[in-house]
Amino acid sequence: MAALGVILAAIYLLWMFQKMFLGQVTNPKNENLPDLNRRELLVLAPLPGLIFWIGLYPQPFFNLMQSSVGSLADVFSAASIAAR
């Protein structure tokens, strides 16, 4: 049942993506919108590289978050023990 839900969700996601990003422009106000300019591309260009790096080597980011996540886990575990 869960596999069917995942498949249907993927189909719906791809269908909506196609309609929104690859379809015809239906609002005349949007026909003259420009594409990304150089400054916007310069800001967005590092993001795929950063995402790829985090996916391949996440340990530096885990180390960065370890203390704050540990503190949060302590707070929640103390709260759950007190609630019992």
pLDDT tens across 12-69, in order? 999 999 998 888 888 899 889 898 899 999 999 999 999 999 999 999 999 999 999 9
DSSP letter, residue 5: H
What's the rounded Cα separation, in Å, for the pair 68 and 19? 41
Residue 3: is its pLDDT beyond 90?
A: yes
Tokens of 31: 């026909």
**Cβ burial, residue 74 (10 Å; 0-12/13-18/19+):** exposed
What's the rounded Cα separation, in Å, for the pair 39 and 23? 26
DSSP letter, residue 20: H
pTM of the model: 0.50
Output the CA angle 71-76-77, nearest 5 degrees.
95
